[in-house]
Amino acid sequence: MLFNSVEFIVFLIVVFGITWLLARWRLAQTLFLLAASYFFYANWNPWYLFLIVFTSSVDYLVGGAIHRTTVPSRRRLLLSVSLVSDLGVLAVFKYFNFFSTQVAAAFTAAGLAVDPVLLGVALPVGISFFTFQSMSYTIDIYRRQLEPADSYWQFLLFVSFFPQLVAGPIVRASVFLPQLSRPRGLSREMGGVGLFLILSGLVKKVCIADYLAVNLVDRVFENPTWFTSAEVLAAVYGYAFQIYCDFSGYSDVAIGAALLLGFRLPDNFRSPYVATNLRDFWRRWHISLSTWLRDYLYIPLGGSRRGPGRTYMALAVTMLLGGLWHGAALTFVLWGALHGAALALTRAFQRLRGPVPLVTMVTGALIHLGPRDPGWAKVARASAAVLLDTVVRIGMILLTFHFVCFAWIFFRAKSFGHALAILSQLAKGTPGTANVVPTVTLALLAAWTLHCLPEDWVGFLRRLFARTPFFVQAAIMTAVAALVYSVASSKVVPYIYFQF
């Protein structure tokens, strides 16, 4: 059941109505939302519900046991049970075939022909998300940063809550569980903001991400040699905005749907392509994953507390595993390695530079140089300083954006050979954009414009929509629905992150 389908809209309306009819009976409401979440997931494969129930049940029991014991060795043993259980599920269903294939290839390269042992199972939708979410619960209890859930049913709902079940945001128990333990309500502003987020998410997904995919990105990435270098470059840019609008659009719908049900989920994106360096990018892109990797992997590996060498190693390992989290393929591993190496270089440069950026020192000197100069000279120097700062900032944004786009090529490509074919076609420098039709250019411009809107402007539009009369909201929703319907492809396009 995809967010960009009529079935989901009907499902959400029904769940919304029944949820608030049960508002006076908290347990009944929790059980209903749990049943609705399981029904939502069962639409893909009902057998994989057992995975969610198994993962949730193990972590609930282990988390409670960790909380009750004070013996360090027993606490470590119980945590190991949780980690082995969660990572074991991932290893079997997501990574077994990948590692089996790599081992067989290594033996073959050594002169021993070995066929890989493959499991004939489909990848469960959202498995990487709900296992990480459940696993963080026991780790937080082990660290004494969290109290156990008040009830088993609440914990099951925390792991399986349908708006963010299959593609995030990855929600911490410390954020979600307290909302189950206290009365929830739905204010007019919450409802309006929720509807605004759902509408904006659907526009991002259908009108931009899907349109770019069908009319540019998929065609070029499938056969890059058929297109000019300029068209391949446009497709690379197109994929950058496709994956952003696809995933941030999903997050918008998830956060909006949760708001309609009385829950507040954390933001997952903050204009990542205006980041001035990669550290800034990862503070803006898939925030729930990047903070998860930071808190549960990077910091335990040493973080920035044990010297530069340990920091660079922790960054490299974290991003390698982050790449592998995205998919069981060497292209994802390379994507993670590229980001890990670039993050390490960024950190090394920042250490050498010191706490004050060079441009700040230069602009400061321009402003304060010559205190006895005429006023017009000071104004001129201040203007030059602002201009220099702006130029440097734009340069850093463009450099970061193009590195991210370069890495996206390996993320999107089916194989290394495929990625190299795209890079080779780019290197030829052939002109011509006959296959980039005006509507595709318009979609790219719309994506960049929406992406670059200041957060204050977006917040103002949300509040404005939330405070307008309902008949105005209904008219806007009707217009957006008509736009989405007119632009949508004949076949509903799945979300990119559903494969992870």
Digitized pLDDT (tens) for each residue of the chain, 500 residues in all:
788 888 889 999 999 999 999 988 999 999 999 999 999 999 888 888 999 999 999 999 999 999 999 899 999 999 999 999 999 988 888 887 777 888 777 777 777 777 777 777 777 888 888 999 999 999 999 999 999 998 999 999 999 999 998 887 999 999 999 999 888 888 888 899 999 999 999 999 988 999 999 999 999 999 998 999 999 999 999 999 999 999 999 999 999 999 999 999 999 999 999 999 999 999 999 999 999 999 999 888 887 777 788 888 999 999 999 998 888 888 999 999 999 999 999 888 887 766 555 555 555 555 555 555 555 665 665 666 667 777 888 889 999 999 999 999 999 998 899 999 999 999 998 988 888 889 999 999 989 988 888 888 888 888 888 888 888 888 988 898 888 888 877 677 777 777 66
Distances (CA, A) of 351 to 110, 345, 445, 465: 43, 10, 37, 45
Distance CA 255, CA 247 (A): 12
pLDDT at residue number 282: 94
- Quote the pTM value: 0.89
Least Cα distance to 243 among 495, 500, 499 occurs for 495
Cβ atoms of 160 and 57 closer than 8 Å: no
- pLDDT at position 302 is 84
Query: Annotated active-site positions, please?
Result: 326
pLDDT for res 365: 56
| Amino acid at the residue 155 | F
Q: What is the pLDDT of residue 93?
A: 85
Residue 328 identity (one-letter amino acid): A
Report the alpha-carbon distance of residue 486 to residue 428 in Å, rounded: 37
- Please report the pLDDT score of residue 119 as a whole number: 77
